[in-house]
Amino acid sequence: MKEIIYSLIEFSRRYGSDERYVLAGGGNTSAKLGDVLYVKASGTRLRDIDERGFVKMSLPSLHSMFNKEYPPDDAAREASALSDMLSALLPGETGRPSVECMLHALFPQTYVLHLHPALVNGFTCGVDGARRCAELFGEDAVWIGLTKPGYILAKACRSVFEAYQARSGRAPDLLFMQNHGVIAAADSIAALDSLMKRVISTIAATVNINKNININTEQLAPPDTAIAIAPALRTLYARLNKTACAVIHKSDLIDSYIQTAQTAGVLTRPFNPDQIVYCKDAPLILEQGCDPEESFCAYIESHGYPPKIVALIGAAIIALGATKKEADTALSLFLDAARIARYSQAFGGPLPLTDEFSRFILQWEVENYRQRVSFPGGAKSRSDEIIKGKVCVVTGGAQGFGEGIARALAEQGGYVVIADMNEAGAQAAAQSICAECGAGASIGIKANVADEASVKAMVDKTIAEYGGLDVMVSCAGIAIAGGLDTLTLDQFQKVTAVNYTGYYLCAKYASAVMKTQRKYAPDRISDIIEINSKSGLEGSKANFAYAGSKFGGVGLTQSFALELAQYGIKVNAVCPGNLLDGPLWSDPERGLLRQYLEAGKVPGANTTADVRRYYESKVPLGRGCQIADVVRAVIYIIEQQYETGQALPVTGGQVMLS
């Protein structure tokens, strides 16, 4: 038994982790041992499945279902069949079996693999697919026309199998299902792999005869029109789902379909059930210049649910979801549909699902259950709800205060763009956050806040990945100590460019996005937060460039707050004390402890340790500021709904406001 289970897990993971074969956790596998069927549980992903991801079922009980009469009504029939499937579970089993368990039971072979790769579905969703099946695969395969999944499909396949058995004396090894992929069955894993290799190579050879089939989906730079409209669509989607993400995609393949509303027509009807589950049955076709709100609401009125895919004609497609995962999944399934349409050209052209079949899938409880399992919700703490789903940019986020803030926002459910001149550091921090908080929780990019083009690109990248911007944390900063006699003009201007001009540029481009979101959600609140300094509250000897830039930052904060309040944008500053353990202070060569020692800022100091003790002694609480102290202040600023234009000290009492 263990040998079969280990083999089942091995090939399930191998195929499930290869996106050429499996998307969005699709696909099914099973193995038989005596009268027991081990079949993948509904909602389980093949790529990381273990023994707990399979349920054990009685084969005799499943076989008996083929001889039972079920109600003709779709809903009643599927409900009754599901009840019998659950009754076929062996004692102690609590998972829900795949709806295709009857089909797996129908094959007498030990191992069964059901996949729907785009290449295969180009064949099964082609007008000439049925005719070409015998030509390409001979007597080793059977074909079944478009059939509702579940019990009806299993019954139809049984009739086909009986006819095949009568003429060949054995069960088929391959089953091609119109608009629904391929099932391969064998008594060994090696034989199963050989069958799949044959399927892929045979169809690929046919497709390659047509040299005009281009499926390049490499991401191209999104146009400004898509960048401008994505925040509106994300906000409109959030009206119904509270949180929302939007992902922009532009590629050669998609461009070929969205040149006009007419060329996009081939993608307005789905090709397979998975596409309906994750993308719904039709995209919203949006001509440039159209009112997005009017078009979005008209779609909902017509379909009864919001669009998952928006095809912005002449520009890009935008995938929508309550979460980044949902939006990414919708995008991957829609791109798969575009590949299927292209591959189908080698098989007579595309043959989408019928409207009746699409309606059945939309209403089918089994597929609704699978989506719920794939994208589970759950109760969150109050702090999670504050940040959950917010798109946040943290400049200077590769280390120090910035990295700590970025991690805290992601841990509480936010999506975080870490922007830093240190691109490798930003990406490493983002990868670490994703490992802890889930794929898509963070991205790391290079950005120079003193350069306007770089700041615009940073915000554009944020929109392309997440669809909008809710929290801008301007944390990037530098400090170069020196007195009037020693600090050069270049040094003074460098500090000013990063700390003062950089904050202005971040606020300028972030607020433009936030204003768009407010237009479509009049009660929406956004935040711009500058990580300032205690040196923005009082002068700093031999550090005037830094203090001046921070004093200026407080002035910008108050001025921006007055200007942006009407758009629901709160603008505040956090003024930390000395992060003595952070790289800004502790770097042995360029840190402030070293700079202040060399500048003679601390009388009588002979070592950096003397400088540190001096600054600790200035704090009533006797220690330097810590990242956690600043994180709490940032979370508070986002949570509260009444304060704007404030400079919040986090200094341990070193600076006290009167």
What is the distance between the alpha carbons of residues 154 and 629, in angstroms, rounded to a whole number?
61
Q: Is 415 helix (H, G, I), strand (E, B) or coil?
A: strand
Q: How far is CA 318 from the centre of its chain?
A: 13
- Token pair belonging to 581: 């353990």
Q: Is 299 designated active site?
A: no
Name the active-site residue from 15, 151, 546, 615: 546
CB of 11 closer than 8 Å to CB of 29: yes
- Residues with Cβ < 8 Å from 464, sequence gap 6 or more? 222, 226, 227, 230, 247, 248
What is the distance between the alpha carbons of residues 64 and 88, in angstroms, rounded to a whole number?
10
- Token pair belonging to 584: 């800004």
What is the distance between the alpha carbons of residues 572 and 154, in angstroms, rounded to a whole number?
62
- Token pair belonging to 426: 């930003």
List the Cα angle 290/311/465 in 5-degree steps. 105
What is the distance between the alpha carbons of residues 573 and 553, in angstroms, rounded to a whole number?
8
Residue found under tokens 């069927």: 37
**Sign (positive or negative) of CA dihedral 95, 101, 102, 108:** negative
Q: What is the amino acid identity at position 504?
A: Y
Dihedral class, residue 40 (left if φ above 0, else alpha if ψ from -120 to 50, else beta): beta
Q: Is 394 helix (H, G, I), strand (E, B) or coil?
A: strand
Give the end-to-end CA distance of the chain in Å, rounded to a whole number: 76
What is the distance between the alpha carbons of residues 361 and 273, in angstroms, rounded to a whole number?
7
What is the distance between the alpha carbons of residues 430 and 398, in angstroms, rounded to a whole number?
9
What is the distance between the alpha carbons of residues 333 and 350, in angstroms, rounded to a whole number?
16
- Work out whether strand 391-395 and strand 471-474 pair parallel, antiparallel, or are unpaired: parallel
29 beta partners = 113
Other C-beta atoms lying within 10 Å of the C-beta of residue 198:
17
Q: What is the amino acid identity at position 337?
A: A
Neighbour-count burial of 92, counting CB atoms closer than 10 A to its CB (0-12 exposed, 13-18 middle, 19+ buried): exposed
Catalytic sites, residue numbers: 546
